Structure 1
């Protein structure tokens, strides 16, 4: 078990993982949600769902810290609590891509010395956005294992140009709106 996997497990930060193991090329890969603010503990064996999560998370590492993380934040209000919850495992050299539902503009900013790439997300998914930004198509990943999908997307995205303009964290906060994610179809 990688140290990062152990950290996430021991701190109960994993939520509904669909993949949680070593990949073919990397020490550890994770797909699922990551807990930012846990739910209230009702008893020794009962806890409410988390109050805040990073959803659609894709995480890769070959070290003790998170080398790559892409996820959705339903609101920019979750950003500071996210950094607080994960500051021990965030790296100055990591590639962190946040798709934020209540943003009207994209940008790259530094927060506590760590660079974050933020994109507005309204109708798409983190996975589809990552494929677009890494110039991959779903056909490129057809008939590949979960491990191969994570490896392929990570290897492609870390060599792509995200084409984001530099902003301050305050500028990014000024792009926050009150709309949230637009849902289509039956709910």
Structure 2
């Protein structure tokens, strides 16, 4: 399974779940974009220096069909492609929630069309089901993998909003924003 391979390469971080069902495999958690240094003589690594947070990934027969996550900075997008592009299906749907963009964009890079949505706080899953025009009742009785398949299927007609721009132009449109943090309430 694809996500087992990622686990062996230490690419899974803060995992919520990793499971497969039939031809599908699903993962929720962070994915590593830059491995941490070797921290000791036994080869244990320090935490990664860059991750894509709160990812929701669906693979069918080891090809990624849906790739959703949150980036602190748009400049990290090439690292996403460096690590995961080889596993993208030709018809992959990529939606990224990016902290440092102000307006939605459709980024064209290396033959991919990536929906980029500005978001400083919030829950990726909730935002994704809003985009898919689903509500919690649509997932009643479903396994974690089935829920992601339901979202993937609901996104079939999704048309991302925003200007279509190449990656270099998208970088010029970034803003000075940081992820909103919340402490104890």
Same fold (TM over 0.5): yes
Q: Which residue of 1 aligns with 2:38?
A: 41
User: Could you tell me whether the CA contact under 8 Å between 1:18 and 1:31 is conserved in 2?
Assistant: yes
Deviation of residue 104 (structure 1)?
0.9
> Partners of 2:141 and 2:4 in 1: how far apart?
30
> Partners of 1:23 and 1:108 in 2: how far apart?
31
Find the partner of 2:75 among 71, 74, 77.
Answer: 77
Q: Which residue of 2 aligns with 1:136?
A: 134
Q: CA RMSD in A?
A: 2.1
Find the partner of 1:90 among 88, 91, 104.
Answer: 88
Deviation of residue 184 (structure 1)?
4.4
Number of paired residues?
184
Q: TM-score, normalised by structure 1?
A: 0.87
User: Could you tell me whether the CA contact under 8 Å between 1:23 and 1:150 is conserved in 2?
Assistant: no
SS in 1 for 2:95: strand
The 5 A counterparts of 1:96-111 are 96-111=94-109
Q: TM-score, normalised by structure 2?
A: 0.88
Query: Residue 143 and residue 63 in structure 1: after superposition, are their counterparts in 2 closer, same or farther (change >3 A)?
Result: closer
For structure 2, the residue ranges without an aligned partner over 5 or more in a row are: none
Deviation of residue 56 (structure 1)?
0.6
The 5 A counterparts of 1:1-187 are 2=1, 4-23=2-21, 26-43=23-40, 44=42, 46-142=44-140, 144-184=142-182, 186=184
User: Could you tell me whether the CA contact under 8 Å between 2:107 and 2:166 is conserved in 1?
Assistant: yes
> Partners of 2:135 and 2:168 in 1: how far apart?
34
> Partners of 2:35 and 2:96 in 1: how far apart?
20
